[in-house]
């Protein structure tokens, strides 16, 4: 049976037309689905009983449920394990920020791309998340946490105002469901696309397609080396696309959207942290309006890589600054609970404070 959460409002209107119902019912149904998180058609009390039972004959409502909530030692970052209707488990992370927290959501169960520095890649690919499963991660948190606009700004860990598609999986490999989810999130959940960031390992054709969508999402590209050979070693998917092709797609995105791009660079000791890498990175990005986000590797159990020491990271950062690039060093939030970048899906033996 189909899940009604996967449908956009226009598609629900089509269903209603076939059932001989007025189109305005679609607005009511979407409100119940995405803002009020109805668990069954019986909850939709402003719909006629006959319509509720017809819908129940054709559709089901699927929801994520929270099975675990782990708070980092500093009390800021929280990792949630959410159970899908088929029993699969995904991870969603709430990252604190003084101007409102960011919710990092998943788009696939596992990932096929096997980046060497990433725990999700090590767990392999299970399946794409459906549109409804992507959206319901957000609807769940809208219900579970106070809305950002209403929440006191001091309580940054509990409110969220930005979304990043950077949890488990490669969002652009689940393109159709991602775009449908963005459509529902903007229209039904009320989150503007300018507050969303899609983070990708770099799929040029999909980046160009995303540039043509009617959404103002930010784009973050995981680069990790300015050299094709090393990049391919770190990210096997990069073997299919030379950096020249990726950079053309990035420039195209900027030309279409006029939004500064972010290039993520995970610093791994002995792999991509030489000053030569920093100079080559600055040269690669010289004609792209971009900021570089450096991330010291977040190790996970079983990983054979390490983060460079602080001095080396600072020197890498300085080279980029001296060459005129805007560069930030991302704080590794939630490392102790395996909630930081590249750690999702890692099995933890760590005992942390748990809620729920």
Q: Known catalytic residues?
A: 91, 341
Least separation in angstroms between CB 243 and ligand SF4 = 16
Least separation in angstroms between CB 258 and ligand SF4 = 26
Nearer to ligand SF4, 91 or 148 (CB): 91
- 4 counts as binding ligand SF4 under rule CB under 6 A: no
Least separation in angstroms between CB 165 and ligand SF4 = 10
Question: What is the residue-wise DSSP string for 28-70?
Answer: HHHIIIIIS--SSGGG-TTS-HHHHHHHHHHEE----EEEEEE
- 171 counts as binding ligand SF4 under rule CB under 6 A: no
Least separation in angstroms between CB 123 and ligand SF4 = 9
Binds ligand SF4 by CB under 6 A, chosen from 128, 170, 271, 277:
170
C-alpha to C-alpha distance for 286 and 305, rounded to whole angstroms = 29
> Which of 112, 67, 75 is CA-nearest to residue 91?
67
Nearer to ligand SF4, 115 or 211 (CB): 115
The continuous run of DSSP H or E covering 291 comes out as strand 290-296
C-alpha to C-alpha distance for 200 and 39, rounded to whole angstroms = 33
- Output the CA angle 204-188-56, nearest 5 degrees: 110
Nearer to ligand SF4, 12 or 207 (CB): 207
DSSP-derived secondary structure letter, 145? S
- 106 counts as binding ligand SF4 under rule CB under 6 A: no
Least separation in angstroms between CB 115 and ligand SF4 = 3
- 174 counts as binding ligand SF4 under rule CB under 6 A: no
- 223 counts as binding ligand SF4 under rule CB under 6 A: no
SS (HEC) of 205-244: HHHHHHHCCCCCCEEEEECCCCCHHHHHHHCHHHHHCCHH
Q: Is 259 within 8 Å of 220 (Cβ atoms)?
A: no
Q: Is 157 within 8 Å of 102 (Cβ atoms)?
A: no
Binds ligand SF4 by CB under 6 A, chosen from 41, 59, 80, 113:
113
Options 116-124, 136-144, 186-194, 347-355: segment touching ligand SF4 (CB under 6 A): 116-124
Q: Which residues bind ligand SF4 (CB under 6 A)?
A: 111, 113-115, 118, 120-121, 169-170, 201
């Amino acid at each position: 049976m189909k899940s009604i959460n996967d449908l956009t409002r226009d598609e629900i209107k089509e269903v209603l037309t076939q059932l001989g119902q007025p189109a305005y019912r679609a607005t009511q149904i979407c409100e119940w689905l995405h803002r009020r998180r109805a668990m069954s058609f019986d909850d939709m009390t402003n719909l006629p009983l006959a319509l509720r039972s017809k819908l129940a004959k054709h559709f089901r409502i699927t929801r994520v449920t929270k099975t675990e909530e782990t708070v980092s030692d500093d009390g800021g970052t929280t990792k949630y394990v959410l159970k899908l209707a088929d029993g699969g488990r995904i991870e969603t992370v709430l990252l604190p920020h003084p101007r409102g927290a960011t919710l990092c959501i998943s788009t696939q169960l596992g990932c096929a791309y096997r980046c060497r520095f990433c725990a999700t890649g090590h767990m392999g690919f299970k399946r794409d998340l459906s549109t409804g499963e992507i959206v319901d991660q957000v609807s769940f948190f809208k219900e579970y946490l106070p809305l950002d606009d209403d929440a006191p700004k001091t309580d940054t860990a509990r409110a969220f105002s930005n979304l990043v598609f950077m949890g488990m999986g490669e969002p652009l490999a689940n393109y159709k469901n991602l775009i449908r989810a963005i459509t529902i999130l903007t229209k039904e959940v009320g989150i503007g696309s300018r507050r969303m960031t899609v983070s990708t390992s770099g799929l040029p054709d999909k980046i160009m397609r995303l540039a043509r969508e009617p959404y103002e999402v930010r784009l973050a590209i995981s680069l990790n080396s300015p050299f094709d050979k090393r990049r391919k070693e770190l990210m096997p998917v990069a073997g299919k696309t030379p950096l020249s092709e990726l950079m053309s797609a990035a420039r195209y995105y900027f030309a279409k959207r006029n939004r500064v791009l972010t290039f993520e660079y995970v610093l791994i000791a002995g792999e991509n942290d030489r000053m030569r890498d920093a100079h080559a990175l600055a040269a690669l990005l010289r004609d792209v309006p971009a900021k570089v986000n450096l991330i010291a590797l977040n190790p996970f159990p079983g990983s054979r890589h390490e983060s460079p020491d602080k001095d080396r990271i600072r020197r890498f950062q300085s080279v980029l600054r001296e060459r005129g690039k805007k560069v930030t060093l991302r704080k590794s939030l939630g490392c102790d609970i395996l909630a930081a970048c590249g750690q999702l899906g890692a099995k933890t033996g760590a005992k942390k404070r748990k809620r729920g």
